[in-house]
Amino acid sequence: MAGAGAAGLWAAIHAADRGPVTLVAPDPSGGSATALAQGGIAAAVAEGDDPAAHAVDTMTAGAGLSDTEAVRILTAEAPSAVAELHRRGMAFDAGGAPTLEGGHSARRVLHAGGDATGWALLLALVGAVRADRRVEWVEERVTRLLGDAGAIVGAATDGAGGEIEGDRVILATGGACGIYGRRTGPDRATGEGMAIAWDAGAALADLEFVQFHPTALDVAGRPARLLTEALRGEGAVLVDAAGRRFMDRFDPRAELAPRDVVARAIVEVRERTGGRVFLDATGISGVRERFPTAAASCAEAALDLGADRIPVAPAAHYFTGGALTDTVGRTTVRGLFACGEVACTGVHGANRLASNSLLEALVFGRRAALAEDGAGPVVGDQGGKPPVVPRAGLPLQEIRSLADRFLAVTRDGRELGTVVETLAGGGPATWTAPTLVASLLAQAALRREESRGGHFRTDFPEPHSEWRARQVVSTSGWSRVPVLG
Ligand SMILES: Cc1cc2nc3c(=O)[nH]c(=O)nc-3n(C[C@H](O)[C@H](O)[C@H](O)COP(=O)(O)OP(=O)(O)OC[C@H]3O[C@@H](n4cnc5c(N)ncnc54)[C@H](O)[C@@H]3O)c2cc1C
């Protein structure tokens, strides 16, 4: 097992029922997205709600690209995942009564510690794993996989752990938004697991879809800390530099429009006015107490959430693509499994519904832990054009600067072409994980000549039916897999 966020820890707990587990991962308190998650975990547990309605909302957010069966499983198994968390002692706010969040048609999101759900979850899971004698925790990083006769039989680490053998490896190493300078997540989430899987021959999918959170702190020299959309749910508004609201000009739902709509609106207002955009939460009574994480993030930048207008701009938030898996976490390489943000199960399609990713980490982490080995997802003909081989590692700062400028909320074919060329190499594979991920993302975004979900092309601003397909890539080539249903 590699990685100790929600996916890796939950998978380790369940894999221990099948046999001894070696968990290879640094301490997750400083470097996991799970620790930062604010909003909550979605599950149809309220009276009158049901998993089928949760599935419809998930499919709607996915903009035609979600995998119907994966979504059915995600939403059907959500209530039992939450019940198991309760049984294992995780205390949710309000006795587990869910709240309403954007894109959900019912009260369906469970919180813990106000806006510190991820931290509470991490504490509970780390405690459970540390107490489990069947799990040996090696605090190192996996650097590559060990193969034998076409199957994965272990992993090598960067420390004294050396080479660790096992009957399978589960990658749960998190996402890749760390290839962006403006990001809400951890610094080191630069797609290491995706590069490790790629190196072993696994197919990756949906790499062009990145979810940008519209309201991240925008103060020079400060991290782009997330200001949860629950603030807008409670009445916070977006205003331009002159103090005027603008969201109703872009969408009848105004500040409560989907994340991609709000993010594009903010970008457009900033470009048109040449000024900044602000989140005004001063009208919410008791806002500092109700949103302690957001208030602390503002205070770090000498701003008062209860009294000041807070400068905000979009930031990379969730990496939708990853190692392609089936519904039990099997990748296209035998013996290699993936779960959590490093994986692409297809549940999120072109855009993720809020609070579905911690849930995905739990549901598919457990499934990967308990699955039998066997053939993974079928991707059909991979004989498409081969991917452009990335160049030897470019400094991370340069990749971040390219990603912030050209792989962000709005994209354009000419600029994407420039990124692909800048990152092209062709020599021996000496690329680093961020170069590989940024290069494949740019190639996927250039190939997808339409706009859908988290991918918006100014030169192709509409969705096209022939693009109702998932882009899959491996070292053998690109392919388009139609999404049915
Ligand atoms: C600010 C913020 C708020 C969010 N809020 C929500 C929310 O409210 N609800 C929701 O559902 N989702 C939310 N998300 C998304 C969600 O937190 C993540 O998608 C989810 O936590 C991913 O879990 P994971 O276990 O896959 O990855 P992570 O939690 O990122 O854990 C990955 C772990 O793998 C380790 N690792 C990396 N590389 C290696 C390696 N080579 N070897 C060994 N270990 C390695 C890392 O150190 C890390 O500990 C939020 C994300 C952010 C950034």
What is the rounded average pLDDT of the residues 48-61? 96
Determine the distance separating the centroid of ligand 1 and the alpha carbon of 73, expressed in angstroms: 21
Q: Quick one: what percent of the chain has pLDDT higher than 70?
A: 98
Read off the pLDDT of residues 153-189 as tens digits, 9 standing for 90 and up.
Answer: 999 999 988 999 999 999 999 999 999 999 999 999 9
**Is pLDDT of 429 > 70?**
no
Closest CA to 293 of 149, 145, 180, 184: 184
- 11-20, 159-168, 404-413, 459-468: segment of lowest average pLDDT: 159-168
Q: Is 225 exposed, middle or buried (0-12, 13-18, 19+ CB in 10 A)?
A: buried
**Is pLDDT of 4 > 90?**
yes
How many Cα neighbours within 13 Å face the side chain of 102? 24
Amino acid letter, 283: G
Please tell me the residue having the least CA distance from ligand 1 atom 9: 355
Determine the distance separating the centroid of ligand 1 and the alpha carbon of 25, expressed in angstroms: 12
| Region of residue 94 (left: phi > 0; alpha: psi -120 to 50; beta: else) | left
Domain spans, the chain: 6-176+320-370, 213-315, 379-482
Q: In the prediction, which pLDDT does 428 show? A: 60
Determine the distance separating the centroid of ligand 1 and the alpha carbon of 400, expressed in angstroms: 19
Q: Which residues line ligand 1 (CB under 6 A)?
A: 2-8, 24-26, 28, 31-34, 36-40, 117-118, 141-142, 172-174, 184-185, 189, 192-193, 226, 317-318, 340-341, 355-358, 361
What is the rounded average pLDDT of the residues 32-52? 94
Please tell me the residue having the least CA distance from ligand 1 atom 31: 5
* Radius of gyration of the chain from its Cα atoms, rounded to whole angstroms: 21
How many Cα neighbours within 13 Å face the side chain of 140? 16
Tokens of 203: 């197919």
Ligand 1, residue 185: give the atom nearest the CA. 53
- Which of 58, 357, 366 gets mutated to test ligand 1 (max ligand atoms within 8 A of its CB)? 357
Q: Please state, as a whole number, how many other Cβ atoms lie within 10 Å of the Cβ of residue 27.
A: 11
Q: In the prediction, which pLDDT does 96 show? A: 83
Ligand 1, residue 141: give the atom nearest the CA. 42
Determine the distance separating the centroid of ligand 1 and the alpha carbon of 482, expressed in angstroms: 29
What is the rounded average pLDDT of the residues 200-225? 96
Please tell me the residue having the least CA distance from ligand 1 atom 14: 37
Q: In the prediction, which pLDDT does 193 show? A: 98
Q: Please state, as a whole number, how many other Cβ atoms lie within 10 Å of the Cβ of residue 277.
A: 25
Q: In the prediction, which pLDDT does 369 show? A: 98
Ligand 1, residue 360: give the atom nearest the CA. 11
Q: In the prediction, which pLDDT does 381 show? A: 66
Q: In the prediction, which pLDDT does 95 show? A: 85
Q: In the prediction, which pLDDT does 386 show? A: 83
**Is pLDDT of 380 > 90?**
no
Q: Quick one: what percent of the chain has pLDDT higher than 90?
A: 85
Average pLDDT, the chain: 94
Pair 319, 195: CB distance under 8 Å: no
Residue 244 makes CB contacts below 8 A (sequence gap 6+) with: none
Determine the distance separating the centroid of ligand 1 and the alpha carbon of 290, expressed in angstroms: 24
Pair 323, 197: CB distance under 8 Å: yes
- Which of 9, 13, 32, 210 gets mutated to test ligand 1 (max ligand atoms within 8 A of its CB)? 32
**Is pLDDT of 258 > 90?**
no
What is the rounded average pLDDT of the residues 400-413? 97
Class of domain 379-482: mainly alpha
Determine the distance separating the centroid of ligand 1 and the alpha carbon of 359, expressed in angstroms: 12
Residue carrying the six token digits 């976490």: 329
Closest CA to 240 of 271, 212, 217: 271
Q: In the prediction, which pLDDT does 38 show? A: 84
Ligand 1, residue 35: give the atom nearest the CA. 29
Ligand 1, residue 174: give the atom nearest the CA. 27
Read off the pLDDT of residues 114-147 as tens digits, 9 standing for 90 and up.
Answer: 888 999 999 999 999 999 999 999 999 999 999 9
- pTM beyond 0.85, yes or no: yes
Please tell me the residue having the least CA distance from ligand 1 atom 6: 37
CA angle 41, 350, 190 (to 5 degrees): 75
- 74-88, 175-189, 418-432, 439-453: segment of lowest average pLDDT: 418-432
CA dist 52 → 7, 57, 73, 335, 365 (Å): 24, 9, 10, 32, 21
Determine the distance separating the centroid of ligand 1 and the alpha carbon of 8, expressed in angstroms: 10
| Alpha carbon of residue 118 to chain centroid | 14
Catalytic residues, by residue number, are 259
Pair 231, 291: CB distance under 8 Å: yes
Amino acid letter, 418: T
Residues in the chain: 485
Please tell me the residue having the least CA distance from ligand 1 atom 50: 37
What is the rounded average pLDDT of the residues 54-76? 97
Q: In the prediction, which pLDDT does 138 show? A: 97
Q: In the prediction, which pLDDT does 383 show? A: 63
- Which of 188, 341, 342, 345 gets mutated to test ligand 1 (max ligand atoms within 8 A of its CB)? 341
Considering the four listed CATH numbers 3.90.700.10, 3.20.20.150, 3.40.50.980, 3.30.420.40, the one that applies to the domain covering 213-315 is 3.90.700.10
Determine the distance separating the centroid of ligand 1 and the alpha carbon of 33, expressed in angstroms: 3
- 143-152, 312-321, 425-434: segment of lowest average pLDDT: 425-434
Beta bridge partners of 156: 144, 163
CATH architecture, domain 6-176+320-370: 3-Layer(bba) Sandwich (3.50)
Q: Which letter does DSSP use for residue 153 in this model? A: E
Tokens of 141: 């990083």
Q: In the prediction, which pLDDT does 385 show? A: 79
Pair 76, 144: CB distance under 8 Å: no
